[in-house]
Amino acid sequence: MPETSFSSVGIDFGGTSVKLGVCRAGELLCTDEPIPTADFHGPHALINEMAARVANLRVTFPDIAAIGVGVPGLVDFDRGFVHELTNVPGWKHVPLKTLLSDKSGLPVVVENDANAMAWAEFRYGAARGLRNVVALTLGTGIGGGLILNGQMYRGSQDSAGEIGQMSIDFDGVPGHYGNLGALEKYTGNLQIAQHAVEAYAQIGVHKDLSDCTPKAIAEAAAAGDEIARGVWGEIADWLGTALSSIAWLLNPDAFVIGGGVAQAGDLIFDPLKRKVQSMVSTVVWEHLKIVPARFSNEAGIIGNAALADELVPS
């Protein structure tokens, strides 16, 4: 039974495409054709297109009551203001909430994409019913979103959850900000591939980076390849170190892990769980879940629609 009597539009605004869908109480009712981001020059043209798409969707779904937009960058949540999207030209200081609300005539919420993913898992996914949740997406970088005391936790400048920038080695590899030992310099997709290429090279096997996607390494490991297994073991050590630190600090109910690496399944989750268990107390460990995300490509749409639901009086 749906918890709401209305629908919301979720918009997952990415550097390549803008994906739209209609949801009711976490159920994806339909997805619209993606909008190629580069086809629209500047915020106004793209926001007009978003509003036009929403207007079209309302013909079929007249009960659409709100819009949630997730963006790949830093937002001011209260104002729905986009500070800057480094991967989308022209998106700097954009009052997205005001503009899209004016165009569409609907209430709008604007959120960081990692937070929206976390909200999707908290409201309708792998972390449903839990109170303290740390969600991570493993990809080129590592994004994170936090649900603490049953609320989205955004931090003082809406910048919380940057798990990929946390240090796992005070004397380690510098990250994007010069931050030594930044986790994503160890477990980002490119770093995993580089690490695998080097590991194969040590036994005289030549591989290209393109041979060593997380998926390829995972499949090789599943097929019994010892080098691939070793690579996964090290990823688990690095990622597990960061998760352990977060577990000591936040004592959460769950880590929910999405993105490419997470698709490796038990192969990555089993060594990761062993590592975290070896690094935390029994009290912290015994109730802790480390689980794959329920939603993958549609997490953004569902999470943003779920955030939009919160705008509508019940």
H/E segment holding residue 110? strand 108-112
Residue 115 beta carbon to a copy of itself: minimum distance, rounded to whole angstroms: 12
Binding of residue 278 to a copy of itself (CB under 8 A): yes
Binding of residue 93 to a copy of itself (CB under 8 A): no
Residues 123, 146, 50, CA angle at the centre, nearest 5°? 65
> 123-182: which residues touch a copy of itself (CB under 8 A)?
131-132, 144, 146, 148-149, 151, 153-163, 165-171, 177-181
Tell me the sheet residues that pair with 255. Answer: 134, 290
Q: Which is nearer to a copy of itself, 7 or 115 (CB)?
A: 115
Q: Which is nearer to a copy of itself, 105 or 155 (CB)?
A: 155
- What sign for the dihedral angle of Cα 273, 225, 193, 196? positive
CA distance 166 to 56: 43
Q: Which is nearer to a copy of itself, 60 or 159 (CB)?
A: 159
Burial 91-114 (b: 16+ CB within 10 A, else e): beebbbbebbbebbebbbbbbbbb
DSSP-assigned states of every residue in 172-184? S-B-TTS-BTBTH
Q: Which two tokens stand for residue 298?
A: 């549609």
Rg of the chain, C-alpha, whole Å: 20
Q: By C-alpha distance, which of 112, 264, 116, 121 is closest to 187?
A: 264
Q: Which two tokens stand for residue 195?
A: 């690490």
Q: Which is nearer to a copy of itself, 216 or 250 (CB)?
A: 250
Torsion of CA 19, 23, 28, 32, to 10 degrees: -30
Compute the half-sphere exposure of residue 118: CA atoms within 13 Å on the CB side of its CA: 28
Binding of residue 284 to a copy of itself (CB under 8 A): yes
Q: Which two tokens stand for residue 300?
A: 């953004």
Q: Please, are residues 272 and 242 in contact by the beta-carbon 8 Å criterion? A: no
Q: Where are the beta strands (DSSP E) in 185-298?
A: 254-259, 289-292
Binding of residue 291 to a copy of itself (CB under 8 A): no
Q: Which is nearer to a copy of itself, 58 or 154 (CB)?
A: 154
Binding of residue 86 to a copy of itself (CB under 8 A): no
Residue 156 beta carbon to a copy of itself: minimum distance, rounded to whole angstroms: 5
Binding of residue 74 to a copy of itself (CB under 8 A): yes
Residue 227 beta carbon to a copy of itself: minimum distance, rounded to whole angstroms: 20
Among 40, 122, 238, 295, binds a copy of itself (CB under 8 A): 238
Binding of residue 87 to a copy of itself (CB under 8 A): no
Q: Which is nearer to a copy of itself, 44 or 79 (CB)?
A: 79
Binding of residue 283 to a copy of itself (CB under 8 A): yes
Residues in the interface with a copy of itself (CB under 8 A) total 51
x/- binding map, residues 249-268, to a copy of itself, per CB under 8 A? xxxxx---------------
Instruction: Candidates 31-39, 44-52, 239-247, 259-267: pick the segment binding a copy of itself (CB under 8 A).
Output: 239-247
Q: Which is nearer to a copy of itself, 9 or 114 (CB)?
A: 114
At position 156, the amino acid (one-letter code) is S
Binding of residue 76 to a copy of itself (CB under 8 A): no
Q: Which two tokens stand for residue 143?
A: 């994004």
Residue 73 beta carbon to a copy of itself: minimum distance, rounded to whole angstroms: 11
Interacting residues toward a copy of itself by CB under 8 A? 74, 131-132, 144, 146, 148-149, 151, 153-163, 165-171, 177-181, 237-238, 241-242, 244-246, 248-253, 278-281, 283-284, 287
